[in-house]
Amino acid sequence: MSAIRKEDSMLLQKQMISDHYDRLASAHDEGQKVVYTFVPGNLNELVRSFGLLPVLPEINALQSGLRKKSGEYIAEAEKHGHSEDVCTYVKCDIGMLKKGNIGPTGRQLPKPDLLLLSYTGCFTFLKWFELLREEYGDVPVAMLHVPYQANGRIEPHQRDYVVQQMRTEIIPKLEQVSGRKFDEDRLRDMLRLSAAAEDDLVWTLESAKKTPSPIDAYFGGVHYIGPIFSAFRGMQSAVDYYTALRAEVQERLDNGQGPVTPEGPMGKEKYRLVVEGPPNWTSFREFWKMFYDEGAVFVSSTYTKVGGLYDRGFRHDPDHPLETLADYCLGCYTNLGLPTRVDLLEQYIADYNADGFLVNSVKSCNSFSVGQLMMLRQLETRTGVPGLFIENDLVDPRYFSAANIKNRIESYLQMLDQKRGVAA
């Protein structure tokens, strides 16, 4: 493989992340407090409005996967009695903690001053932070229970429930930890910045409707969602990032170019695919290569909606700060009932003119995975578009069988060719 090619926006993001981890590493020395929280349903603007720094354990886990460290961390957690059956993000995080809590930049992460348990779309989150509470001892926990959108719509009492929890549980604890009073105007300013960045993110994701698509909305998409799903939503740096990203993608659109892969510009677009489910992180590049080598590009993905379904119209609304945060939490992808998820995928397949779709089913994430076999059948029946089902894991390298996966991808794409031949 030749040297890895990075777009300017990727370099910009890399710098943002690196700076953030550096700030975290020295946070306690500089008297800055730290809040651990989760990606889906994160209250980044609220946390940041108190001058607190967020740490996202899922991001640490996926970074460990990318850096090939997750295997040893998972083994460490299993050595301490964690079952081989459960979520490997949790075990990777616990293992990393047991081995000194060294972050992706090689510096130790600070202990949390608050565990903000945003229980959105994933039951395991609840257990994860109960486990961290055990590990850290006397760290306070602020619990935000976000009800499930089983019927695919936000009920007013669900919104009220989330807002009430923010008022009575979350904000008081953030005030206590930060020593600052809640400043609603500051929050509104940040929400305004969020909405601006969200506009550009949606524009970028929807650029894939063009043929050829200028982006890969899955393997590239996970980079594009990075700032907005993590520590930077509501920050000027995120607005700047998405402005730069949009300009970059616009240039590729103008030139009729496809996505940029780690090996440079992708060749001719031959297959347009939609994907359901998170990617594998331990063999991320290898997995991507299996697709781009064949001319397959992902034009839309559900994973890039776990931290917000912006492409369906949601924007953070500075005029209703707590209500908009509640709607954001309630609307994250894995908080939606299965029928809504199938409807969404069906729309993606139509809107993005997809030839096929992939279900990447990961062992670790029941929230995503349970029901995916049925989703596959439903989508094939409704759209007539054939699907591919692959099983692996988020960060456990034991569950990525490269040869097997590659065979399945190649067979699937051959089948798409045959189908086209028949149609022609």
Residues 385-424 close enough to bind another protein by CB under 8 A = 391
Nearer to another protein, 72 or 169 (CB): 169
Nearer to another protein, 284 or 399 (CB): 399
Tell the smallest beta-carbon distance from residue 309 to another protein (Å). Answer: 17
Nearer to another protein, 105 or 401 (CB): 401
Residues 318, 188: contact at Cβ < 8 Å? yes
Check binding of 339 to another protein (CB under 8 A): yes
Strand extents, DSSP E, 277-354: 296-301
What is the C-alpha to C-alpha distance for residues 82 and 78, in angstroms, rounded to an integer?
Answer: 4
Residues 56-85 close enough to bind another protein by CB under 8 A = 80-83, 85
Check binding of 104 to another protein (CB under 8 A): no
Tokens 């603007």 correspond to 45
- Rg, Å, the chain Cα set: 21
Residues 6+ apart with CB under 8 A from 411: none
Give backbone dihedrals phi and psi of 362, rounded to 5 degrees, phi first: -105, 135
Residue of 56, 131, 205, 395 interacting with another protein (CB under 8 A): 131
Cα dihedral 281, 143, 47, 302 sign? positive
Task: Quickly list H helices, 207-274.
Answer: 221-224, 226-229, 236-254
One-letter identity of residue 15: Q
Check binding of 127 to another protein (CB under 8 A): yes
Check binding of 366 to another protein (CB under 8 A): yes
Residues 134-173 close enough to bind another protein by CB under 8 A = 134, 141, 143, 145, 147-148, 150, 157-158, 160-161, 164-165, 168-169
What is the C-alpha to C-alpha distance for residues 224 and 222, in angstroms, rounded to an integer?
Answer: 5
Query: How far does CA 180 lie from the centroid of its chain?
Result: 30
Nearer to another protein, 30 or 85 (CB): 85
Q: Which stretches of the chain bind another protein, using CB under 8 A?
A: 80-83, 85-87, 90, 119, 122-124, 126-128, 130-131, 133-134, 141, 143, 145, 147-148, 150, 157-158, 160-161, 164-165, 168-169, 337-339, 341-342, 361, 363, 366-367, 369-374, 378, 391
